[in-house]
Structure 1
């Protein structure tokens, strides 16, 4: 009506139309807004309420991410859908669709129509924020479900804003959905005397929530329980004063703590540290935990160690230094893990993934006040020369680390007692820098292998292995270790042609001299043969490892030297016997040497070969 009047007046009077339209604007119902901030976690949706809407009243809801990797979703519940229906009908069906129909957004849309008056995932403005406008079908209160998009996992902070004509909408938080207020977890573990300390990181605990802990120790050791906040300030502690005593600890948090920790330590008894097995029960808002063993329910109270898949490809052996007992390799290393703390919103970079080169990933993680599974090569000597280091990070926090590097590694497992018929074990040992309750290594399927052209001519690889174990670091804490090992043996052609064949010739020459009847010439040949062997020993000395024990090759050379020297002594003796006219004795000795010398030498060498060097 007023529009028609203003239109008529506008056509009749030039200035009056502006006054008329100004009156319309001033008399129109004002648009008022209410806003709340919140944060979504994995497996935890949030329920809000809009109070006192009138039939026909339009409300615009806007949900924008304010941190983390959150891709938000919002829906207005139908009045007949209660919280039980959400828990038992809607949320299980969402999980089923995520498993079987993740790439079919229309399936999620059909499901939402059954439970919601209106819902929205993306506002359509090129971003991932959610926005919807709905009109209340009747007077009353309406409930809103705030969640992560069902198409992929995401977490983070958000801002929820409701705008309506007339009176400002009353927006209030109701409750979390999908995670009950009570959580209970229990586990069995043990402390070793070498690792008499264990730290557990807890999930976020909100203001007003109470943590209850009960520890039952088996054996004669005395445990101590201490709870720390995010800054490692002790919040509560309890110690056992007698054997078999159950420890109970509880603490109500006055503020939200994103990273509390629980420490279990074995107390010294009579000057020594004894440890053993224990049963640990933890509960959030579950006081019955303090009374005894209870069944687990709800999400975990503890942060589980992140599994880091690790594998190594050996491309090249650049050299083996037998004297220094080390070897050089060129290898590729890959780590694969998922950490929600590293998740990001792809809208921030307009990208499907982030790629970091060199040290930029470590700097990025530091900027988030987070951590990543840093590592060291435990048997590395000198520097590690990285040809390429790349980290690919997905929006959900899934990260893949790749590095190709050349480095020198210590090989204390070398054993040269059977040199050159020895088999040597080579190891690459990679240790995590963080304790194993934060990260633990697992095998990366299909990655670990040995290349076909290693470039090492002296050695031939027979087989390789990989294994995961736990060791103590320099602080005494247990860390996860990845062991890649391979076994190699030598190509013998070089040693046969350059060492064994000349030794055989020297031995034969020593034997052949006994066919000479000129004992003076025999002395000359034996002496020359000994000098030849000495020169030969100096020639090959650079090819032999310098060790604190004798190798098979050392024994062979020493034996040859002794035999060659004895042959010279025997030749001098026979020459003297000839001068004294004892020809019959000389002939008997010659016959014995010609008959038994080769056999005796072969038997001696066979005995040396059979010795377990």
Structure 2
């Protein structure tokens, strides 16, 4: 992939020259001699054009990329620090991050051994031209777009990014799921063969190669398990392969909230449906009422769970557990109806056997289902 040209349009220089000429018109009007006025105007216009051309050439000189003249890929060292992960939104498949990025590279064109360190606008010099490839919406930059250049030509760029990043999530194991998240920086102008990103380490801790993450994050229901920062080209389609680097971290969902707020009420409702097996068989209305109310409660519970997840084309672990619990409660209702019918037709012995069988079979089946949910 060829680099995007940095040549500037000469039109701004001509416009500045014309503006300078307009401002000189009042002074020209005071000249008595028309020939002298014309010569003065032409001289001043030539000076303005020459001055503008020199300024433009000076800026273009900063953009003259000595790095492009090399046959080897240009090396840019990177270090990324995740200041905060504000939220992980699995419904909308994104997460909000606050990122600090530091880049450094060497440009001989900017070397000035006898001078001092300088601060230069990023657009006025060669730079990797980075974007966040998986951004979703606007990404905000908190620091000015400037670089610091030391006398040896070492360039240091620092920036802080914040915004939402897209991340496809496979939620099959919800709510006991663990996911990988990526922050992918990519160069918009240089291919993987022209630009090489190298993980860097800060001076205060050489072991933090490539990047790190803050210990305290704004994530109430997720835990960061691991992280790493590596150079990784960005290749959205086979024809495009640009230079880039990635910060990857693994996050595991805290299951405590779902145990106490979702799972425990569901267990209570299922266990409530078994109460009909211990009631007298002649209390048909009470026995059936307990089972039907349990089913209705579980249906309402399903709607609550559905609001926590996107509309998925597949079942999650919580979906399987909830649907299986509903089926168990429905089978409990059928068992109660069967026992009541047998009792009403003077077959008390068979009705008693159905109740005794149900008292052991349904709790055992539910315990097996609960073990599968907890252990996978």
TM-score band by shorter chain is 0.7 to 0.9
* Change over 3 Å in CA distance of 1:544–1:469 after alignment to 2: closer
State the 1:478 CA deviation: 3.7
The SS at the match of 1:388 is coil
Task: Assess if the C-alpha contact under 8 Å between 2:232 and 2:243 holds in 1.
Answer: yes
Aligned pairs, number? 305
Query: Does residue 152 of structure 2 align to residue 396 of structure 1?
Result: yes
Counterpart of 1:342 (choices 97, 105, 110) is: 110
Aligned match of 1:320: 88
State the 1:574 CA deviation: 2.3
Counterpart of 1:592 (choices 357, 360, 363) is: 357
Measure the CA separation in 1 of the matches of 2:236 and 2:152: 31
State the 1:577 CA deviation: 2.2
Higher share in strand: 1
* Change over 3 Å in CA distance of 1:400–1:609 after alignment to 2: same
Measure the CA separation in 1 of the matches of 2:327 and 2:236: 50
State the 1:537 CA deviation: 2.4
Give structure 1 stretches of 5+ with no counterpart.
Answer: 1-66, 69-154, 157-201, 205-257, 260-301, 366-370
Counterpart of 1:578 (choices 343, 349, 355) is: 343
State the 1:610 CA deviation: 5.8
Task: Assess if the C-alpha contact under 8 Å between 2:228 and 2:248 holds in 1.
Answer: yes
Aligned match of 2:164: 408
* Change over 3 Å in CA distance of 1:486–1:473 after alignment to 2: closer
Aligned match of 1:183: none
Query: Does residue 239 of structure 2 align to residue 484 of structure 1?
Result: no
Task: Assess if the C-alpha contact under 8 Å between 2:175 and 2:318 holds in 1.
Answer: yes
Aligned match of 1:146: none
What's the TM-score, normalizing by structure 1? 0.47
Aligned match of 1:527: 292
Give structure 2 stretches of 5+ with no counterpart.
Answer: 1-56, 203-207
Task: Assess if the C-alpha contact under 8 Å between 1:203 and 1:303 holds in 2.
Answer: no
Task: Assess if the C-alpha contact under 8 Å between 2:231 and 2:245 holds in 1.
Answer: yes
Task: Assess if the C-alpha contact under 8 Å between 1:346 and 1:353 holds in 2.
Answer: no
State the 1:608 CA deviation: 5.6
Measure the CA separation in 2 of the matches of 1:591 and 1:449: 60
Aligned residues: CA RMSD: 2.7
Counterpart of 1:333 (choices 101, 125, 133) is: 101
* Change over 3 Å in CA distance of 1:473–1:554 after alignment to 2: closer
Task: Assess if the C-alpha contact under 8 Å between 1:338 and 1:397 holds in 2.
Answer: yes
Q: Which has the higher contact order (CA 8 A, sep 6+)?
A: 2
The SS at the match of 2:151 is coil
Task: Assess if the C-alpha contact under 8 Å between 1:519 and 1:574 holds in 2.
Answer: no
State the 1:449 CA deviation: 0.9
State the 1:470 CA deviation: 3.2
State the 1:494 CA deviation: 0.7
Deviations 1:90-110 (A, max 9, x none): xxxxxxxxxxxxxxxxxxxxx
Counterpart of 2:130 (choices 359, 375, 399) is: 375
Measure the CA separation in 2 of the matches of 1:418 and 1:525: 31
The SS at the match of 1:498 is helix
* Change over 3 Å in CA distance of 1:540–1:470 after alignment to 2: closer
Task: Assess if the C-alpha contact under 8 Å between 1:530 and 1:561 holds in 2.
Answer: yes
Counterpart of 1:450 (choices 213, 229, 246) is: 213
State the 1:596 CA deviation: 2.0
The SS at the match of 2:312 is coil
Aligned match of 1:435: 191
Task: Assess if the C-alpha contact under 8 Å between 1:520 and 1:575 holds in 2.
Answer: no
Measure the CA separation in 1 of the matches of 2:257 and 2:136: 29
* Change over 3 Å in CA distance of 1:572–1:315 after alignment to 2: same
The SS at the match of 1:470 is coil
Query: Does residue 178 of structure 2 align to residue 423 of structure 1?
Result: yes
Counterpart of 1:504 (choices 267, 272, 287) is: 267
Task: Assess if the C-alpha contact under 8 Å between 1:441 and 1:480 holds in 2.
Answer: yes
Higher share in helix: 2
Task: Assess if the C-alpha contact under 8 Å between 2:113 and 2:151 holds in 1.
Answer: yes
The SS at the match of 2:82 is strand
Task: Assess if the C-alpha contact under 8 Å between 1:513 and 1:526 holds in 2.
Answer: yes
Counterpart of 2:118 (choices 330, 349, 354) is: 354
Measure the CA separation in 2 of the matches of 1:383 and 1:344: 38
* Change over 3 Å in CA distance of 1:416–1:477 after alignment to 2: closer
The SS at the match of 2:152 is coil
